[in-house]
């Protein structure tokens, strides 16, 4: 089986992460319960005629894919695989609202066409005239990992050489209201420094996209080797440590071999215990980092965790703003990302330098 | 009539999300499709729905749209003659 490498990355998030030459140098502080992605100059990447039909999620996905492709130095790929938990919410809401407002009449085609979950992957393929495998995984908080796993297996088995894989989520006004109503969004605004200790239920909701070119050949732009990906729909809290140790053992590692662990804490008092038991348990002597205080929570934000892990491995440095604790590690060789959302859909992604 | 043409231009811009175009950029006789504003078949469907919803004009044959949507002037003439609301 071939090894799999992350040869390029791209991120559009509530922080200014779309420029790959910088690494969380300038942090935008928020004091809110919902935070939006920082917009790159979309016009630089998408012709106006195409952009006018694209909602924010599609624009973000198309631009991030172009940044990743540019960095990888390739024109096309053997597959485009995306993950999204909620899909194109803005156009979905627009279309459904039109159905209700106009008593199921006068339905226009644009928002309907643009509202499918596969719209982002489809638009990327149209843009690069790529007729290869095109697939979107819709599986809540493991949508991105499902896409990544598919890509990894295809590359290992040499069914493909280069694959563009990413996760994308956009905020829709109505859906956000619904999430607020069911207390999935924090009741009070919090700043980035308060998120972890907010002691309230819910998360700061957000949007964004992260794309990667993964290949079975290492290039000069390579960030990391993608060693293993595993997902769990359900996993009891008391079984998490054991599941991680089993996962590491399958990859000939122990918890002590992990140089950095990337946690998906979002400050939800009801569910951060999944991470805290690891911080105080099997990873108590490991450098721990987190990122959702900077970029919020959404169904594919764990892809930002993989972005962060990739950056850390390549830069061999960890921005202070993401550190949970301080453990000196002279060389960062192995990074593990662990994420779950509301106690379900757990994922483990193992990267090596 | 002039008011209707201005209204149509504003609706076309808003409905079709024509970024960077303002009412003053569209002349009454500018071609809406092809070399003019560069609208396409999806836009034509949007305009057919707009005629129905805002002016009570239901096109039974979508091919009729080709003539009606030639320019803002032609559209306004057609609406003036056939509108039911």
Whole-angstrom Cα distance, residue A295 to residue A14?
Answer: 5
φ, ψ for residue A289, nearest 5 deg = -130, 160
Residue A148 host element (H or E): helix A143-156
C-alpha A256/C-alpha A83 separation (Å) is 31
DSSP structure class, residue A158 = T
Residue-range domains of chain A with CATH: 5-215 (3.40.47.10), 224-352 (3.40.47.10)
Chain A residues contacting B, CB < 8 Å?
A: 48-49, 51-53, 102, 105-110, 113
Distance from CA of B74 to the nearest CA of A (A): 22
Question: Do strands A34-35 and A31-32 pair parallel, antiparallel, or not at all (unpaired)?
Answer: unpaired
Residues of B whose CB is below 8 A from A54: none
Q: What is the pTM of this model?
A: 0.94
Read off the pLDDT of residues A46-83 as tens digits, 9 standing for 90 and up.
988 889 999 999 999 999 999 999 999 999 999 999 99
Domains in chain B (CATH in brackets) are 2-82 (1.10.1200.10)
* Alpha carbons A269 and A264: distance in angstroms, whole number: 13
CA distance A128 to chain B (A): 21
pLDDT tens for each residue of A286-337: 999 999 999 999 999 999 999 999 999 999 999 999 999 999 778 999 999 9
User: What is the pLDDT at residue A279?
Assistant: 97
Q: How far is A130 from chain B, CA to nearest CA, in Å?
A: 22
Contacts of B56 in chain A (CB under 8 A): none
Q: Which helix (H) or strand (E) holds A349?
A: strand A344-352
Q: How many CA atoms lie within 13 A of A11 on its CB side?
A: 25
Q: Specify the pLDDT at position B43.
A: 92
Per-residue pLDDT tens for A231-248? Answer: 999 999 999 999 999 999
Q: How far apart, in whole angstroms, are the C-alpha atoms of residue A35 and residue A37?
A: 7
The residue assigned the tokens 């205080």 is A293
State which H helix or E strand residue A210 sits in.
strand A208-215
Q: Please identify which residue in the block is written with the tokens 């109505």.
A: A174
Question: Of A249, A226, A220, which Cα lies nearest the Cα of A350?
Answer: A226
Nearest neighbour of B19 by CB, restricted to A52, A107, A109: A52
């Amino acid at each position: 089986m071939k090894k799999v490498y992350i040869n390029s990355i791209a991120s559009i998030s509530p922080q200014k992460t779309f420029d790959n030459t910088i690494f969380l140098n300038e942090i935008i502080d928020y004091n809110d319960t919902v935070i939006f992605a920082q917009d790159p100059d979309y016009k630089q990447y998408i012709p106006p005629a195409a952009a006018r039909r694209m909602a924010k999620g599609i624009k973000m996905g198309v631009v991030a894919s172009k940044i990743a492709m540019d960095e990888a130095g390739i024109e096309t790929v053997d597959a485009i695989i995306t993950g999204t938990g909620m899909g194109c919410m803005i156009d979905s809401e627009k279309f459904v609202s039109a159905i209700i407002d106009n008593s199921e009449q006068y339905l226009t085609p644009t928002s309907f066409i643009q509202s499918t979950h596969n719209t982002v992957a489809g638009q990327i393929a149209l843009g690069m005239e790529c007729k290869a495998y095109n697939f979107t995984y819709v599986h809540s908080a493991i949508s991105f990992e499902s896409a990544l796993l598919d890509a990894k297996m295809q590359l290992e088995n040499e069914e493909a050489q280069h694959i563009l894989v990413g996760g994308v989520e956009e905020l829709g006004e109505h859906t956000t209201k619904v999430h607020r109503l069911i207390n999935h969004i924090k009741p009070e605004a919090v700043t980035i420094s308060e998120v972890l200790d907010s002691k309230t239920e819910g998360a700061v909701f957000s949007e964004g996209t992260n794309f990667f070119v993964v290949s079975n050949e290492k290039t000069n732009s390579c960030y990391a080797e993608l060693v293993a990906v595993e997902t769990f729909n359900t996993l009891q809290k008391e079984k998490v440590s054991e599941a991680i140790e089993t996962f590491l053992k399958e990859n000939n590692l122990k918890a002590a071999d992990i140089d950095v662990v990337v946690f998906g804490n979002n400050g939800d008092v009801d569910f951060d215990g999944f991470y805290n038991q690891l911080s105080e348990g099997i990873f108590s002597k490991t450098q721990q980092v987190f990122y959702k205080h900077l970029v919020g929570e959404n169904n594919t934000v764990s892809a930002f965790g993989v972005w962060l892990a990739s950056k850390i491995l390549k830069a061999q440095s960890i921005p202070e703003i993401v550190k949970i604790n301080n453990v000196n590690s002279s060389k960062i060789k192995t990074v593990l990302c662990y994420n779950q959302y509301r106690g379900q859909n757990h994922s483990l992604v193992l990267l090596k330098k | 009539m002039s008011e209707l043409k201005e209204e149509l231009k504003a609706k076309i811009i808003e409905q079709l999300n024509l970024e960077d175009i303002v009412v003053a950029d569209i002349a009454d006789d500018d071609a809406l499709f092809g070399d003019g504003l560069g609208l396409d078949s999806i836009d034509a469907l949007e305009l057919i729905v707009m005629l129905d919803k805002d002016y009570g004009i239901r096109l039974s044959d979508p091919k009729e749209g080709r003539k009606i949507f030639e320019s803002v002037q032609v559209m306004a003439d057609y609406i003036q003659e056939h509108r039911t609301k």
